Structure 1
Amino acid sequence: MTGNSSKLHLDNATLSLFRDVNTSTVISVIYMLVTIINWVGNGLSMWLLLFRTSPKTPSIIFMINLTLTDLALGSALPFQIDYQLQGYNWRLGSNMCSFMTLVFYGNMYCSILTMMAIGIDRYLGIMKPMRFRKSKKRKSVAVISCLLMWGLVLGVLYPLMTTDLTYKVPELQITTCFDVLKLSMLPSVGAWAAFLFSMVFLLFLFPFCVTMFCYVSVIYKLSSDSKTVQKGRAIRLAVVVLLVFVLCFAPNNILLLAHSVLRLFYGKSLYMAYKLSLCFSCLNSCLDPFIYYFASKDFRQKLREIMNIQSLSSADSIRMENKETLYSG
């Protein structure tokens, strides 16, 4: 985001961003690739989760929620691609701009919270398996948790729903969408600080710390036990999840905080870097199916069984069921 006062003219750094055709083209190409992979990967995952996976454990419910958020982002990206290719010129009106922005950021933060929930579910399933499996309300808790996640995200992002996020740039004869924010969007600098604090610390840093704790604890627990193939696979999956969490979301939120502080208090900008980091954060939406499903040998076996590519022996089926019982929660 870039804060802007009621001045009639933008600074040179912001104008240079809007004139940079190469950056806009690179971002558009990345969004195109993400959209294609997103639709294919998450569409297949949703079909498998809804119609080929039973029972619906809490982990599966969280994965369905995560896949829904990814598909929502995939539906919004074509509008962002058109916006970029038109030279940052939004042609669909202020209401559509607010809605697409809400979908875009809602996906990011709901994905972060859902990944935290999956981490907690795995942590409880491995660290306290007996007490965890005796609970009869796990599915209800998972559904309520998903609803609370969305409620929290929408509550924090409420200013985006009630503000005109478009801005006419007379120098370039374009109308931007969320690339120039008026300081009048919020009543005071304190309100801006609370808004940014909620986004960066409540919706990113806290879930990040919880996710780190859960997966590091799981890795330590499994690595300290006798080593088996399935435990090694679980450890590798946890490491990959943490890496993607750090690489996709951390740069964007750190740059958001740094850019906002520099813009509000020092009149400087890191918006070019933030814009690129926001673009790469979308990669998570097409990596989720590979991390949670296709990286798993069990899921590949299920996929082959469904598509009649390879029949599973009874021994393979028994091993697969045992692994699912241990790690799917």
Structure 2
Amino acid sequence: MTSLSPLADCGFNEDTINMAISSLYFLLFIPALIINGVAVWVCMQLRSTSTFMVYLKNLLAADLLMTLTIPVKAAKILPSAPLTLKAFACRYSDVIFYLCMYMSIILLGLISLDRFFKIVRPCGRLLGQNLVFGKVLSASIWVVLLATNVIPTMILTNQDPTNKTKEFCMAMKSDAGQGLHGGVVKLNNAIFWVVCVLIFVCYICIARKVFQSYRKSGSSNDEGRHKTKVRVFLVLVVFSVCFIPFHIVRIPHTIQQTNNVKACSQVSISIAQKVTLWLSTVNICLDPLLYFFLCREFREKLMGMLNRRGTPSQITSDNIAILP
């Protein structure tokens, strides 16, 4: 008789692993909800007067929506989770989760490109920083992802939720759905790596521009230079730590899913995929920190709302070139 749990066959306790991952998601949910709630509260007080603010508000919407999917994602992997909850997650919640993840990745790339146009290539601002263009582009990306990814996946995840193996979601997909899944994963990976290269190139150019401006001005403000380095490379660190590990692991994990590989040599890939997926989710707590460091308006408004007695000069004394 074939075992229903390849993890158990290979010496792993599947229930223990799932409970640990589920606990990590639950621990992440409350701080993520609070942080993103505060960020939305602040952004509601800010007008969309630039493409940067348009992208930032769309990123906040994606992060908040992803946050709301976390309880279902955490509960579905518990050993006692009912089939109906697992089926709901596979058909709807998880699909929205990945929509928000890749929307966030794309928007981080657009924010990086926006900063690049503002600081390194001001001549590119005519289109790249046009407010209407930013709104239309953001809305178009949402529509395209919904039309090519979300809606077809929901429609083709239409099989009865009776499979109790670890590949529960794949078993709920029709043959066409499994084919679509492989294509969507490849497309999403392509999107990620294109955005990844874009972000690295943009911020390397921004860093060079800022440091050149310091040299030309003859500034000896070492503290200012240090703050600039931290703020520029914080984006790269957050993006790299949260998203790169998952996308490296996801390629062999998808091959494992579509080919139904169950050898013990592949079990570690499944565990790594779960851990790195959680690590990607941590991004919803880190994005608001980037807003604070990269957006002067966001920082001023937040500090002003937390401390009505603060003065603008106290809040913006560390304003530097990379800030909008």
TM range (shorter): 0.7 to 0.9
Q: CA deviation at 1:309?
A: 5.0
Which of the residues 208, 215, 221 maps onto 1:220?
A: 208
Which of the residues 34, 42, 56 maps onto 1:48?
A: 42
Which one-letter code corresponds to 2:170 in the other structure? L
- In structure 1, what is the Cα distance between the partners aligned to 2:260 and 2:158? 25
CA, structure 1 residues 196+298, in 2 after alignment: closer, same or farther (shift >3 Å)? closer
- In structure 2, what is the Cα distance between the partners aligned to 1:292 and 1:224? 24
Q: Which residue of 2 aligns with 1:37?
A: 31
Q: CA deviation at 1:21?
A: 2.7
Contact 1:125 1:327 in 2 (8 A): no
Q: 1:91 aligns to what SS in structure 2?
A: helix
Q: Which residue of 2 aligns with 1:4?
A: none
CA, structure 1 residues 88+255, in 2 after alignment: closer, same or farther (shift >3 Å)? farther
Which one-letter code corresponds to 1:206 in the other structure? V
- In structure 1, what is the Cα distance between the partners aligned to 2:66 and 2:199? 22
Contact 2:76 2:86 in 1 (8 A): no
Q: CA deviation at 1:165?
A: 7.0
- In structure 2, what is the Cα distance between the partners aligned to 1:275 and 1:250? 14
CA, structure 1 residues 309+217, in 2 after alignment: closer, same or farther (shift >3 Å)? same
Contact 1:27 1:276 in 2 (8 A): yes
- In structure 1, what is the Cα distance between the partners aligned to 2:242 and 2:128? 35
Q: Is structure 2 residue 180 aligned with structure 1 residue 151?
A: no
Contact 2:7 2:14 in 1 (8 A): no
Which one-letter code corresponds to 2:275 in the other structure? L
Q: How many residues align?
A: 311
Q: Which residue of 2 aligns with 1:71?
A: 64
Which of the residues 183, 193, 197 maps onto 1:194?
A: 183
Which of the residues 40, 56, 78 maps onto 1:85?
A: 78
Q: CA deviation at 1:84?
A: 2.8
Unpaired runs of at least 5, structure 1: 1-7
Q: CA deviation at 1:185?
A: 3.3
Give TM-score, length-normalised by structure 2.
0.81
Deviations 1:45-99 (A, max 9, x none): 1111121x24532111111111111111111111122223344544347456411
Q: Is structure 2 residue 238 aligned with structure 1 residue 249?
A: no
CA, structure 1 residues 17+242, in 2 after alignment: closer, same or farther (shift >3 Å)? farther
Which of the residues 24, 39, 57 maps onto 2:18?
A: 24
Contact 1:120 1:211 in 2 (8 A): yes
Contact 2:153 2:177 in 1 (8 A): no
Give TM-score, length-normalised by structure 1.
0.80
Contact 1:69 1:107 in 2 (8 A): yes
Which of the residues 52, 58, 64 maps onto 1:59?
A: 52
Which one-letter code corresponds to 2:201 in the other structure? F
More relative contact order in 1 or in 2 (CA 8 Å, sep 6+)?
A: 1
- In structure 1, what is the Cα distance between the partners aligned to 2:9 and 2:69? 25
Deviations 1:231-250 (A, max 9, x none): 65344222111111111111
Q: Is structure 2 residue 93 aligned with structure 1 residue 104?
A: no
Q: 2:162 aligns to what SS in structure 1?
A: strand
Contact 1:123 1:214 in 2 (8 A): yes
CA, structure 1 residues 75+16, in 2 after alignment: closer, same or farther (shift >3 Å)? farther
- In structure 2, what is the Cα distance between the partners aligned to 1:182 and 1:238? 44
Q: 1:47 aligns to what SS in structure 2?
A: helix
